[in-house]
């Protein structure tokens, strides 16, 4: 049994994946991803613990140690995975928070299971935290946890970070359980968002729904103050920057270009297969450019990597069929013997292979219809110390706030995407270097370490006193 901790991460998933060998022996491997990398040093320094589901339904596991981190598995039944995770988290909240680009499903059993699972996470966190501990809750699957936890353990310092956008009041208003969700978040001392716009949406919502006043970043409850602030997440710039200088990654990048038939332009898309990512829109733009002859036969190859994602949710199954049909159609109409303009892969890749792909790509296409941040855009920039490469980036990705020197597009405007794709392909090396240099400076400075440390510093800095003069009418707890 793991002792109580002074620093706790509470997230839907533990930062490890189970690896089962052919002989049946199982071991845990740290999952890839910036969040773990950024938080691991803090965890080690503070004897932290991470609470989350371990990925297998209907299985209870004891806490265990891995890579100097204490991991506390929270069990989920198969029905809970269906209703809390695939249901309320990914079929209700995900589309609602992403501009309703797909219709959200509002079903009471999903909500009730979401609440029950959040309660289980809050109870587990209350048990695991030592007196006065810092608890950092992650993302939309656990928005009720802050208030539930505060009720059980008012001594804790509770932070929450939302990785996806926070929608405008008008959209959020549709949610039948809007009040409970907002009250859940207000249980935190600090609520972090990717962008200032998300934080502003949340403050306005609190005022309209609960009548609580705010000033600047602070929301004044009757008995305490909640700080709301933007902390744009980032990537491990240093790790990627040195990876693409390794000889084997450089030669793999060259090999990739050769395998693609050494075209003049390699275009790349890397996404989870999700309807928010605008994969169909960029394929359409590329297909039209081919059809109109503005991209010649063999001139460009577009590599689209789509990681399998949420495959049991209906909307995702339909999306996969649509994309694969679209790829087939464009290739069918535009291929010549020995050359297919779109290379599509429905697979996951290791870090090094992904870095080699980024390095090999002349044009990176990141065209989400809405995205909290989008790490792929920042990963691409981190991989181009050669100052070569163009980033075509949607105005609707959080990353567009920082990467102003990208080729910005409105993904809903197919002519705009086509125009910017061509502009990116035809830009001079001097122009590309000028843009890339500025973007790299930004990502190198605001990397994922800085994100985590700025959040934790803000969390541990007490906010203003709850001033009665602000006449709050709503009491937390």
Radius of gyration over every alpha carbon of the chain, rounded to an integer in angstroms: 23
164 exposed, middle or buried (CB, 10 Å; 0-12, 13-18, 19+)? buried
Q: Applying CB under 6 A, does 372 fall inside the site for ligand ADQ?
A: yes
| Cβ-Cβ contacts under 8 Å for 455 (sequence gap 6 or more) | 136, 159, 161, 190, 192, 231
DSSP reduced 3-state for 331:
helix
Contacting residue, 348, 352, 410, 423, with ligand ADQ by CB under 6 A: 348
Tell the smallest beta-carbon distance from residue 370 to ligand ADQ (Å): 9
Instruction: Kindly tell me which of 11 and 432 has the beta carbon lying closer to ligand ADQ.
Output: 11
Instruction: Kindly tell me which of 375 and 425 has the beta carbon lying closer to ligand ADQ.
Output: 375
**Count of residues near ligand ADQ by CB under 6 A:** 17
Reference 180, options 131, 111, 122; nearest CA is 111
Contacting residue, 218, 241, 379, 447, with ligand ADQ by CB under 6 A: 379
Q: Applying CB under 6 A, does 273 fall inside the site for ligand ADQ?
A: no
Tell the smallest beta-carbon distance from residue 233 to ligand ADQ (Å): 4
Instruction: Kindly tell me which of 189 and 379 has the beta carbon lying closer to ligand ADQ.
Output: 379
79 backbone dihedrals φ, ψ, rounded to 5°: -65, -40
Q: Applying CB under 6 A, does 272 fall inside the site for ligand ADQ?
A: yes
Q: Are 390 and 407 in contact (CB under 8 A)?
A: yes
Q: Applying CB under 6 A, does 374 fall inside the site for ligand ADQ?
A: yes
Query: Which ranges in 294-413 belong to alpha helices (H)?
Result: 314-334, 351-360, 375-382
Q: Are 17 and 31 in contact (CB under 8 A)?
A: yes
| Cβ-Cβ contacts under 8 Å for 40 (sequence gap 6 or more) | 67, 68, 69
167: left (phi over 0), alpha (psi -120 to 50) or beta: beta
Q: Applying CB under 6 A, does 47 fall inside the site for ligand ADQ?
A: no
Instruction: Kindly tell me which of 87 and 165 has the beta carbon lying closer to ligand ADQ.
Output: 165
Instruction: Kindly tell me which of 71 and 376 has the beta carbon lying closer to ligand ADQ.
Output: 376
| Span 305-324, contacts to ligand ADQ by CB under 6 A | 305, 307
Tell the smallest beta-carbon distance from residue 39 to ligand ADQ (Å): 13
Tell the smallest beta-carbon distance from residue 33 to ligand ADQ (Å): 6
Instruction: Kindly tell me which of 285 and 303 has the beta carbon lying closer to ligand ADQ.
Output: 303
Instruction: Kindly tell me which of 80 and 274 has the beta carbon lying closer to ligand ADQ.
Output: 274
Q: Are 398 and 373 in contact (CB under 8 A)?
A: yes
Tell the smallest beta-carbon distance from residue 94 to ligand ADQ (Å): 9
Distance CA 184, CA 448 (A): 27
Q: Applying CB under 6 A, does 233 fall inside the site for ligand ADQ?
A: yes
Q: Applying CB under 6 A, does 376 fall inside the site for ligand ADQ?
A: yes
| Span 382-411, contacts to ligand ADQ by CB under 6 A | none
Instruction: Kindly tell me which of 11 and 219 has the beta carbon lying closer to ligand ADQ.
Output: 11
210 backbone dihedrals φ, ψ, rounded to 5°: -115, -5
Tell the smallest beta-carbon distance from residue 375 to ligand ADQ (Å): 3
Instruction: Kindly tell me which of 39 and 354 has the beta carbon lying closer to ligand ADQ.
Output: 354
Q: Are 200 and 167 in contact (CB under 8 A)?
A: no
Instruction: Kindly tell me which of 307 and 339 has the beta carbon lying closer to ligand ADQ.
Output: 307
76 backbone dihedrals φ, ψ, rounded to 5°: -135, 140
Q: Applying CB under 6 A, does 375 fall inside the site for ligand ADQ?
A: yes
DSSP reduced 3-state for 75:
coil
Distance CA 194, CA 118 (A): 22
Q: Applying CB under 6 A, does 354 fall inside the site for ligand ADQ?
A: yes
DSSP 347-363: ----HHHHHHHHHH-SE
Instruction: Kindly tell me which of 221 and 279 has the beta carbon lying closer to ligand ADQ.
Output: 279
Q: Applying CB under 6 A, does 38 fall inside the site for ligand ADQ?
A: no
- Sheet containing 300-307: give its strands across: 342-345, 300-307, 265-272, 363-366, 390-394, 407-409
Tokens describing residue 120:
């289980």
Contacting residue, 163, 257, 265, 320, with ligand ADQ by CB under 6 A: 163
Could you tell me which stretch among 243-251, 374-382, 425-433, 469-477 binds ligand ADQ (CB under 6 A)? Answer: 374-382
Q: Applying CB under 6 A, does 164 fall inside the site for ligand ADQ?
A: yes
Could you tell me which stretch among 14-22, 252-260, 371-379, 461-469 binds ligand ADQ (CB under 6 A)? Answer: 371-379
For residue 231, CA distances in Å to 60, 334, 439, 454 come to 35, 44, 18, 8
- The set of long-range contacts for 64-71, using a CB threshold of 8 Å and a minimum separation of 24, is 64/2, 64/28, 65/2, 66/16, 66/28, 66/30, 67/30, 67/40, 68/40, 68/43, 68/44, 69/15, 69/40, 69/43, 69/44, 70/2, 70/5, 71/14, 71/15, 71/16, 71/28
Contacting residue, 28, 106, 177, 349, with ligand ADQ by CB under 6 A: 349
Tell the smallest beta-carbon distance from residue 368 to ligand ADQ (Å): 8
Could you tell me which stretch among 150-158, 320-328, 373-381, 428-436 binds ligand ADQ (CB under 6 A)? Answer: 373-381
Tell the smallest beta-carbon distance from residue 306 to ligand ADQ (Å): 7
> Contact positions toward ligand ADQ, by CB under 6 A?
163-164, 233, 270, 272, 305, 307, 348-349, 354, 371-376, 379
């Amino acid at each position: 049994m793991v002792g109580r901790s002074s620093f706790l991460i509470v997230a839907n998933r533990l930062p490890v994946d189970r690896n089962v060998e052919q002989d049946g022996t199982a071991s845990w491997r740290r999952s890839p991803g910036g969040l773990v990398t950024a938080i691991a040093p803090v965890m080690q320094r503070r004897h932290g613990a991470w609470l989350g589901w371990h990925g297998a339904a209907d299985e209870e596991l004891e806490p265990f140690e891995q890579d100097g981190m204490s991991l506390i598995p929270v069990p989920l039944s198969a029905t809970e995975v269906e209703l809390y995770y695939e249901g309320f988290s990914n079929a209700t909240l995900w589309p609602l928070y992403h501009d309703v680009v797909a219709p959200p499903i509002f079903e009471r059993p999903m909500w009730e299971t979401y609440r029950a699972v959040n309660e289980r996470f809050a109870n587990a966190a209350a048990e695991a935290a030592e007196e006065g501990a810092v608890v950092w809750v992650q993302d939309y699957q656990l928005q009720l946890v802050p208030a539930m936890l505060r009720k059980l353990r008012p001594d804790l310092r509770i932070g929450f970070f939302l990785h996806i956008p926070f929608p405008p009041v008008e959209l959020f208003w549709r949610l039948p359980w809007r009040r409970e969700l907002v009250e859940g978040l207000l249980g935190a001392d600090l609520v972090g968002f990717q962008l200032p716009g998300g934080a502003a949406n949340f403050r306005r919502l609190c005022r309209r729904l609960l009548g609580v006043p705010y000033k600047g970043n602070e929301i004044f409850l009757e008995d305490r103050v909640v700080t709301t602030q933007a902390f744009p997440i980032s990537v491990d710039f240093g790790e990627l920057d040195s990876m693409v200088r390794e000889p084997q990654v450089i030669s793999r990048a060259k090999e990739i270009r050769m395998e693609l038939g050494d075209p003049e332009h390699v275009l790349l898309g890397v996404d989870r297969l999700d309807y928010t990512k605008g994969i169909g829109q960029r394929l359409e733009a590329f297909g039209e450019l081919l059809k109109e002859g503005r991209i010649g036969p063999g001139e460009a190859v577009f590599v689209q990597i789509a990681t399998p994602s949420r495959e049991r949710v209906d909307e995702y199954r339909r999306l996969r069929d649509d994309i694969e049909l679209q790829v087939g159609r464009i290739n069918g109409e535009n291929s010549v013997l020995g050359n297919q303009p779109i290379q599509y892969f429905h697979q996951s890749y290791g870090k090094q292979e992904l870095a080699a792909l980024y390095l090999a790509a002349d044009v990176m296409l990141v065209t989400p219809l809405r995205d909290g941040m989008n790490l792929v855009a920042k990963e691409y920039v981190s991989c181009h110390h050669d100052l070569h490469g163009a980033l075509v980036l949607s105005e609707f990705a959080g990353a567009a706030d920082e990467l102003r020197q990208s080729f910005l597009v409105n993904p809903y405007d197919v002519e705009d995407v086509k125009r910017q794709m061509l502009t990116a392909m035809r830009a001079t090396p001097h122009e590309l270097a000028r843009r890339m240099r500025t973007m790299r400076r930004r990502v190198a400075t605001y990397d994922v370490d800085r994100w985590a440390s700025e959040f934790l510093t803000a969390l541990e800095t007490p906010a203003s006193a709850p001033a009665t003069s602000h006449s709050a009418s709503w009491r937390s707890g």
